[in-house]
Amino acid sequence: MNDTMLIVHQTARPQGFPTAGHFAFVESALPDIPAGSALVRNLYWSVDPYHRELMDDVPGGFVLDAPLEGRSIGRVIASRTPRLPEGEIVFHRRGWRTHAVVTPEETRHLPRFDGVPLTAYLSLLGGTGLTAYVGLTRIARLQEGEDVFVSAAAGGVGTATGRFARLLGAGRLVGSAGSAAKAELLTREVGYDAVFDYHDGPAADLLAKAAPTGIDVFVDNVGGEQLAAAVGALREFGRVVRIGTISQYNAPDAPPPRFDHADIVEKSIRMEGFLVSNYRDLQEELYEFAVPHLQSGRLAVDETVVDGFEHIVDAFLGMLRGRNTGKIIVRDRAEVTAGG
Ligand code: NAP
């Protein structure tokens, strides 16, 4: 066994977009394993937009020059607890490092479903898919035939939202994304009816063209101008599902979005945000909903997989600039060789 590990630290606070210079890879000896714990070699890592929020000097944010936290899947390689036997595959939150010492309480056993890849537990069956599922079923309370607009439609949450909305019987499904290639892929493969590149003009005009008769639900991953456009396009009793505000994460001085507040009253619009961490009790329900569709082929996972832990920072920075399609996941090189 290699007896060293690599851990990513954040070394400085960014203004605007972060760069590789805000991070450092720190090498150290493998830690001792306290009684009741196990050593995990990480196999897959999730890098997420919320990590950008944690890079700022905010309550609960990343501590400088200390190991970062993130979602990861790994294999137990040495253990001092019968509850985490060697070889077991576990989910935990000590990501951004090649190895982690974990206790049974901070790990989650992953059920294995035939034909479902491990990466799905970080994408469609993980927090990303759960966010999409909660947004549609609990916040929007989507009804069959209702027309839906999704921003950042080509990302992890956006692709999951599109695929789930189709399975839930949505009517016209409209999205926005950062390139014509992404728009084409979403209509060809994910089930969107129309997708516009938000760089192509004012969001209100582009949305009016893509959804000429309006929308019932807006699933918002972006905020800003697209939120204002969607409020204008919503019909009576429309819902805005506020999931994220990625247009602001790297632009702290951008003015807050402006929308017509009178629309909210006159069209009886409901706008509700949520954090997926408050809906963990729906994890089993998500499996029950999604796994049979995954196994039948009606549902597919959309992922951009980056090979090699040494690329984790590049993967994160690339995601912030839209280089991913679907959920971005980093894979250990040993898993590539093993065909994982
Ligand atoms: P993602 O969509 O896979 O990746 C981020 C995407 O955002 C990029 O690929 C990029 O795609 C787009 N983007 C970046 N800057 C943008 C800008 N200025 N305007 C419009 N789009 C921009 O990430 P994700 O994990 O699925 O997260 C999507 C959103 O959901 C984020 O806002 C995240 O914070 C939020 N989220 C919230 C919860 C919750 O509990 N509420 C849970 C998970 C995620 P383009 O090429 O299309 O620009």
For 118, which DSSP code? G
What's the confidence (pLDDT) of residue 335?
75
Task: For residue 171, give every residue at least 6 positions away whose Cβ sits within 8 Å of its Cβ, in sequence order, or none.
Answer: 144, 145, 146, 147, 148, 216
Whether 178 is in the pocket of ligand 1, judged by its Cβ within 6 Å, is yes
Nearest CA to ligand 1 atom 8: 322
Q: How many CA atoms lie within 13 A of 304 on its CB side?
A: 21
Whether 243 is in the pocket of ligand 1, judged by its Cβ within 6 Å, is yes
SS (H, E, C) 213-282: CCEEEEEECCCHHHHHHHHHHEEEEEEEEECCCHHHHCCCCCCCCCCCHHHHHHCCCEEEECCHHHHHHH
Helix (H, G, I), strand (E, B) or coil at 117: coil
Whether 70 is in the pocket of ligand 1, judged by its Cβ within 6 Å, is no
The pLDDT tens digits of the residues spanning 110-124 come to 999 999 999 999 999
The pLDDT tens digits of the residues spanning 17-66 come to 999 999 999 999 999 999 999 999 999 999 999 999 999 999 999 999 99
Whether 155 is in the pocket of ligand 1, judged by its Cβ within 6 Å, is yes
pLDDT in single tens digits along all 340 residues of the chain: 568 999 999 999 999 999 999 999 999 999 999 999 999 999 999 999 999 999 999 999 999 999 999 999 999 999 999 999 999 999 999 999 999 999 999 999 999 999 999 999 999 999 999 999 999 999 999 999 999 999 999 999 999 999 999 999 999 999 999 999 999 999 999 999 999 999 999 999 999 999 999 999 999 999 999 999 999 999 999 999 999 999 999 997 887 778 889 999 999 999 999 999 999 999 999 999 999 999 999 999 999 999 999 999 999 999 999 999 999 999 998 876 665 5
What's the confidence (pLDDT) of residue 257?
73
From the list 221, 35, 37, the residue with the least C-alpha distance to 139 is 221
Task: For residue 190, give every residue at least 6 positions away whose Cβ sits within 8 Å of its Cβ, in sequence order, or none.
Answer: 153, 159, 162, 163, 302
From the list 166, 128, 66, the residue with the least C-alpha distance to 279 is 128
Counting DSSP H helices and E strands in the chain, the numbers are: 11, 15
Whether 276 is in the pocket of ligand 1, judged by its Cβ within 6 Å, is yes
The end-to-end CA distance of the chain, in Å, is 20
Cβ-based neighbour number of residue 259 at 10 Å: 17
From the list 177, 221, 212, the residue with the least C-alpha distance to 195 is 177
Farthest-apart Cα atoms in the chain, separation: 65
Nearest CA to ligand 1 atom 13: 322
Task: For residue 35, give every residue at least 6 positions away whose Cβ sits within 8 Å of its Cβ, in sequence order, or none.
Answer: 80, 81
Task: For residue 178, give every residue at least 6 positions away whose Cβ sits within 8 Å of its Cβ, in sequence order, or none.
Answer: 154, 197, 198, 199, 322
Under 8 Å between Cβ of 4 and 30: yes
Q: Please name the residue that has the structure tokens 């063209």.
A: 209
Prediction pTM value: 0.97
- Report in angstroms the alpha-carbon separations of 262 from 258, 266, 268, 269, 280: 12, 6, 10, 10, 35
Q: State the pairing for strand pair 107-109/89-92.
A: antiparallel
Atom of ligand 1 minimally distant from the CA of 328: 3
Atom of ligand 1 minimally distant from the CA of 50: 34
How far, in Å, is the centroid of ligand 1 from the Cα of 243? 9
Within its chain, how far is the Cα of 314 from the centroid?
17
Atom of ligand 1 minimally distant from the CA of 324: 9
How many angstroms separate the CA atoms of 159 and 180, rounded?
Answer: 16
Under 8 Å between Cβ of 304 and 313: no
| Domains defined along the chain, listed by start | 4-123+301-338 (3.90.180.10), 127-277 (3.40.50.720)
